[in-house]
Amino acid sequence: MRAVLQRVSEAAVTIGGAEKSRIGPGLLILLGVEIGDDRGDADWLVKKIAPMRVFEDGEGKMNVSLHDSGGEALVVSQFTLFGDCR
C-alpha cells in the first residue's frame, strides 16, 4: 500500500462531469493498493497518517494534525502509484 498526501484548501472528485465528493480544508490522499495488501496494512497506514503534524499552528510551524485541525480527508484510488515505467 502506498499513499501520497497533499494538503488542500478544498478538493473534489468529478466523474463523467458529475461531482461525487468534495471536502474543504484537509488532506487529499492518493492511495495505491496492490495484491497482497490487507486490512492490517490499511490500519497501519491510518495510524501513521492520522497523527502526522502537517498543518500550521498559530506560529506558522507545521505542528497540527488533521484531527486537531478539524480538517477533512478525501481518499482517491490511484493504482498508478505502483506503475512500472521501465
Exactly one of 6, 14, 79, 82 is catalytic; name it.
Answer: 79
Does 55 qualify as catalytic in the annotation?
Answer: no
Does 78 qualify as catalytic in the annotation?
Answer: yes
C-alpha cell of residue 81: 502509484
Name the 3-class secondary structure at 80: helix
Instruction: For 73, list phi and psi in degrees, rounded to 5.
Output: -130, 140
Does 6 qualify as catalytic in the annotation?
Answer: no
Strand-pairing partners, residue 15, are: 18
Continuous H helices in 1-86: 39-49, 66-69
Exactly one of 6, 14, 55, 80 is catalytic; name it.
Answer: 80
Exactly one of 6, 14, 55, 78 is catalytic; name it.
Answer: 78
Instruction: Please say whether the beta carbons of 68 and 22 come within 8 A.
Output: no
Catalytic residues: 78-80
